[in-house]
Structure 1
Amino acid sequence: MRSQTQPSGLIEDKSIDYVPASERHGEVKSLFTLWFCTNIAPLAVVTGAIATHTFGLNILSAMTAIIAGHMFGGVFLALTSAQGPQVGIPQMVQSRAQFGRYGSLLVIAFTTVIYLGFFISNITLSGKVINNVLPALPVPYATVLGALLATAIGVVGYSFIHKINKLGAWVMGAALLLGMAVMLTQPLPGDFWLRGRFSLSGWFATFCIGAVWQISFSPYTSDYSRYLPAEVGIRRPFLYTWLGACCGTILAFLFGMVAVNLVGGNVEAMAAVRQATGWLGPVLMVLFLINIICHNGMNLYGAVLSLITAVQTFMPRWQPNAQVRVLFSALVLLGSVLVALAASANFVSFFINLILALIAVLIPWCMINLIDFYLIRKQRYDIEAIFRADGGRYGLLNGRVLAVYFVGIVVQLPFMENAFFSGPYSQLVPGADISWVISLVVTGLLYPLCCWRSDLRLAAAPRE
């Protein structure tokens, strides 16, 4: 088995290594506060406003679509989170068990680009918000400050991320509930509850946005549960993650929706929040800024783990430690800041659209991962084999699984709708991108067939 040194010092002393039983710690309840706080973010507030502002739904139908979408998508997020205590390794390292040692590099590359894209976009956003709060600080310096703070959180690592989100959950949750009370206790527009109408296409489009929002977190959920003792089982990590992710995002989505409907017109969502919450508005802006920085620390943490996993794939004897993680974090910080400072506003918009388009590659991965862990492997992996140079029982390249993965991507194309491509059936449900649903169904059917015709059904050996 891999090294089993005791954790020490302020900075997390592991990178992608297996976490042995002697180093497991923490409470499963922290998964609720982590995913609750993480999802109370400006992007969630802005996205929630789309339900009524873009799709023209009335308040009640928008609420049901938002709640249903997040509750459905949250199941996938929570199922990946529940794997962490059982495997004790980051999510992308675990992908070697499905795709093979080298085969997993494709998924790792996609997720790394998504992590880095969100990190760069968020430090750009945080720079602008810091400049708005402190006008004397120029945007370039504010951007660097936001990046440094996020990097510091990511460098300290797992335990600090949980602690800061535990505090943030209470602060952000209370602030949004208070803000909601401020908005709903003032005189409402006469048509506040009647504005808009129910439409099946608008409802389903809103549902899809909520579901995909949750699924998009899946590639790194077990990164934040892998230190929990295996004895916590599956049910409790699932439940706390699902409740935290759903409650936090639903609250943020509804907050944005109520704000734009209260203000009316074509006011941008965050401006509507500031206007609708009166005296609380400036406080909320500062809290949202802190939330952006904290969440971006998670983006950096995930990006660094993925990069280290990619490098370690070609250097199986290498056991990266805390110093390596700090070095990779510094390199990511430097490169990201240079891109953020050099990028024009149009480039950042292009980058965000590229990230959103790449989320399509996560859907088939998610289905393969969940079916493999829960149905094929029966929640057990041979950790030693995952780290072996030859891939052990999982091999170097699993062609059948990669074929299923590519099919899961290709079947989305006719139904896909994004900034770069519109398939011939993209408007089958007007305003809704249903490509992810097609991929879930097709991948969910093909992967078990692939496994039943191979030796993948063999039970995994004990971990130790």
Structure 2
Amino acid sequence: MPDSVQPSPTGSVIEAHSIDFVPESERHGKVWHQGPFWFAGNFVLPTMVTGFIGPSLGLSVSYCILASTLGVCVGTFFMAFHANQGPRMGLPQMIQSRAQFGSRGAIVPFAATVFVYVGFLVFDVILAAQGIGLYPEATLLWYPLLIAVSIVIAVIGHDLLHVVQRWLTILLVVVFAVVTIAAVGHFGLSTPVPAEDGPMLGWNAPAFLAVFSLAAGYNISYAVYVSDYTRYLPANVSAPKLIAAVYSGAAFSAVWLMALGAVLSANIADADPIEAIRFSGNLVFPGFGTFAVLVAVLALLSIMGVNAYGAMLTGATAVDAFRGVTPTRRLRVAGLVIVGLVSLLVALLIPEHYLGSFNSFVLLMLYFLIPWTAVNLVDFYLVRRGRYAIADIVKADGIYGRWSWRGLLAYTLGFLAMIPFFSLSFYVGPVAELLDGGDLSFVVGLVVSGALYLALSRGVDVTAERRHATSAPANDPERAS
């Protein structure tokens, strides 16, 4: 059933699995589905807002596009390589971290991940309300409604999210191709001559570095999502094809929207993403801009479901490490309701001017995630080479232990090495100051954490672990002895 929701073994369309292993008999889907999933997942207004940064820092349109493209290509590389973990292990993304950090030690990246999920969900619901003209009025009515729609999508789960993203990809490509042609035709790709009191946009090395880092970090942040949506694929799918499908979808949409954001930001004073899309669309004919904004809102609702789904999986995994939970359908629904209520509360309480500091919040969360992705990828590809005792990962007291000092030490030292390179609204590290605010912390975090974990893992008895790796979770009758 490639274009519909696959019923669970009980016949329900509501997904049965959460943090548990997906048995071979329930694997389905096609590799190419990952392309549109990640295209639509990244084709959202926050991505375009990232493209606004360059012109605000004095960078010309052409250099903005170049910096964004290079940054996205680098960042997506790390994100896409997580895709291979899903079908090989049959587990959600973050529970795999138990092999590197221990079942309780993984609480550090888990906490940062939940904050990112909820933060993006809150940001998306505010933008969605703005897009349909409901902000700041009537938020008490519309915030709960918008969040409820996303929670329903997430409750039905994995397959519905894939179906929605595939159909959204078609709609987004058609509508935003028209919007992009209209915007470029009207504004061009050259940098406009500034007003008398306006800054001249051109080459600016610190700004170029800032845009590159932000674009790279933005796509690296999707690393915590990837295996959640590849774990239902058959275990023998082609790794190169799978990685390429994820990479192409996530990179293409990010480059497109960030470039469009740079064009609009350079030509529209105090650019607002919703009004900029509406203006560009109305260049085609009056009303088309409003339609384009509503399509963008649909994409936001879908990615809100994705964020809620991931927050539920990560939160349940964290709780399971301290107090065992049974991964039932009821657990999924209860977890999603909690995520929805927390997100609603934050969205209602947060001050209106918070959007101006949201980039710093997300960037700070990325600082916590970058050492995790380095440790996780090195472990999978270079240390254990994809061979894990799955039955022990899903147990809080399995062979990987509750606290794994190697992963925790590599993570901590990598994070500490990044601090001098931080560039935030409230803190600029000494190295970042020398670079006039340029932020290369993600490079430092990836290299230090990854290299240190590889060196520390020389003492891991991989051979002994592989003897355990033949054991299967109890819910996999095809592999369990």
Using the size of structure 2 for normalisation, the TM-score is 0.89
**Selected match of 1:131 from 129, 133, 136:** 133
Contact 1:46 1:256 in 2 (8 A): yes
**Selected match of 2:405 from 392, 399, 408:** 399
CA distance in 2, matches of 1:267, 1:386: 47
Q: Which residue of 1 aligns with 2:101?
A: 99
**Selected match of 1:88 from 87, 90, 99:** 90
1:202 to 2:202 alignment: no
CA distance in 2, matches of 1:376, 1:219: 20
Structure 1 residues 289, 376: CA separation in 2 closer, same or farther (over 3 Å shift)? same
The code of the aligned residue for 1:270 comes to I
Q: Which residue of 2 aligns with 1:184?
A: 184
Q: What runs of 5+ residues in structure 1 fail to find an aligned partner?
A: none
Contact 1:37 1:173 in 2 (8 A): no
- The total of aligned residue pairs comes to 454
Contact 1:82 1:222 in 2 (8 A): yes
Contact 1:49 1:260 in 2 (8 A): yes
Contact 1:201 1:430 in 2 (8 A): yes
1:49 to 2:77 alignment: no
1:375 to 2:376 alignment: no
Structure 1 residues 187, 395: CA separation in 2 closer, same or farther (over 3 Å shift)? closer
CA distance in 2, matches of 1:164, 1:353: 31
Q: How big is each residue's C-alpha offset from its partner over 1:343-374, in whole Å with a ceiling of 9 and x where there is no partner?
A: 32245656664343121010110000000000
The code of the aligned residue for 2:393 comes to I
CA distance in 2, matches of 1:45, 1:397: 40
1:185 Cα offset (Å) = 2.9
CA distance in 2, matches of 1:121, 1:46: 12
1:106 Cα offset (Å) = 1.9
Contact 1:385 1:391 in 2 (8 A): yes
**Bigger mean CA offset, 301-310 vs 454-463:** 454-463
CA distance in 2, matches of 1:210, 1:101: 32
Q: How big is each residue's C-alpha offset from its partner over 1:13-67, in whole Å with a ceiling of 9 and x where there is no partner?
A: 111110011000001111100110111111111211222x223233332222211
2:31 is paired with a residue of what secondary structure?
coil
**Selected match of 2:235 from 221, 230, 235:** 230
The code of the aligned residue for 1:430 comes to D
Structure 1 residues 344, 198: CA separation in 2 closer, same or farther (over 3 Å shift)? closer
CA distance in 2, matches of 1:259, 1:407: 40
Q: Which residue of 2 aligns with 1:239?
A: 244
**Selected match of 1:277 from 270, 277, 281:** 281
1:307 to 2:315 alignment: yes
Equivalent positions of 1:282-297 (< 5 A) are 282-297=290-305
Structure 1 residues 93, 275: CA separation in 2 closer, same or farther (over 3 Å shift)? same
The alignment-based identity, stated in percent, is: 31
Q: Which residue of 1 aligns with 2:163?
A: 163
Structure 1 residues 346, 62: CA separation in 2 closer, same or farther (over 3 Å shift)? closer
What CA RMSD, in Å, does the superposition of the two structures yield over aligned residues? 2.3
1:447 Cα offset (Å) = 0.9
Structure 1 residues 347, 252: CA separation in 2 closer, same or farther (over 3 Å shift)? closer
Q: Which residue of 1 aligns with 2:475?
A: none
Q: How big is each residue's C-alpha offset from its partner over 1:136-176, in whole Å with a ceiling of 9 and x where there is no partner?
A: x7222111111111111111110000000000011111111
1:141 to 2:147 alignment: no
1:255 to 2:260 alignment: yes
Q: Which residue of 2 aligns with 1:324?
A: 331
